[in-house]
Structure 1
Amino acid sequence: MADSDPKAALQRGRFDIGVIAAALPDSATTMLVDTYLTDRPAASARVFRVYRPTPAHYHAGCDEYLYVLSGRGTFWIGDASDEAEFGPGQLLFFERGVVHALPRLIEEPVVFLSVDTPRRAPTDVIFVDPATGTAESFMARNATGSDPA
């Protein structure tokens, strides 16, 4: 059972992941939309939906654990030749600075539970080819005029 008060849930750590995932929008102009579950210096946890393939990028400040809640696609970590299909129930892990990408969405919605250690700042995304994306095009909370909540 989840807490009905979101602030209380953040203090106690009780979340209904299915409800949170279902509340993500059906479409977005950015590559992904997320909802923070926790946002502490030691770690942050989020639920996010991917709306389009994500080009090669990395995060400078954190390691990332991605648990696949729904959907299927392909993902590579470290080298494009490592591309493999993922699906619900799988965990993807990569250390900070390791280049990764999600080149194909096969079955939608693609939704992940993410745990970042230490906390991942929303703007911590560096695209290998800067022409393929920016922090603003990557995540809705970074887009101009968005609500950073």
Structure 2
Amino acid sequence: MTHTALRTAVVAALAFGAGLAVARLPQPARAAAAPLQPAVIDIAAITAADLPTPAPASPNLRSKLLVAADGATAQVQIGTVIKHYHADANEVQYVVSGSGTEWLGDKQVALKPGMMIVIPAGTPHAGTTDANLKIVSWKTPPQAPTDVHPVP
């Protein structure tokens, strides 16, 4: 075995061992998701009246959890949301209908149906709606209730 091959094998073994060690560390507590069931959800038919009353932190945003799995969640959102970030959750949003504006980091983007927004964990973002903006949002890992950090 050459010196380079030996070094590569040692590095690979160390990386594998580190991965095993990290996998055995205590993981954050998460609620167990119910097993997924086959479903067809008519997102176009969902209206603001179908969604729960907004939370005090975002009084103009209505949202409803549609799917929860061990590694991700999906929800529908209608309304505006304050500028904030998620320390641990990545988010992908898809604009179903309406229009609005998304602040993504330091950029402002006009939204229209068919657009997808990718929001890595730690990225400040916010949204305002011009006309019944409806978004489907996926978060991975599932967002903890305390993982909403307002940005001034």
TM-score by length of 2: 0.65
**Aligned match of 1:115:** 138
Distance of 1:44 and 1:117 partners within structure 2: 7
User: Where does structure 1 lack aligned partners over 5 or more consecutive residues?
Assistant: 1-9, 130-149
Shift in Å, 1:123: 4.0
Contiguous gaps of at least 5 residues in structure 2 = 1-35
More strand by share: 1
- Which residue of 1 is the match for residue 90 of structure 2? 63
**TM-score between the two structures when normalised by the length of structure 1:** 0.66
Larger Rg over CA atoms: 2
SS of residue in 1 equivalent to 2:37? helix
Counterpart of 2:111?
86
Please give the secondary structure, in 1, of the residue aligned with 2:130.
Answer: strand
Give the residue type in structure 2 aligned to 1:17.
I
Q: C-alpha deviations, 1:82-130, integer Å up to 9, x for none?
A: 112011110011101111122x4222x111011111112344211013x
Following superposition, the deviation at residue 23 of structure 1 comes to 4.9
Shift of 1:74: 1.1
Give the root-mean-square deviation of aligned CA atoms: 2.6
Amino-acid identity (%): 35
Change in 2 beyond 3 A, CA 1:124/1:12: same
**Residue in structure 1 matched with residue 122 of structure 2 by the alignment:** 97
In structure 2, the residue corresponding to 1:74 is in which secondary structure?
strand
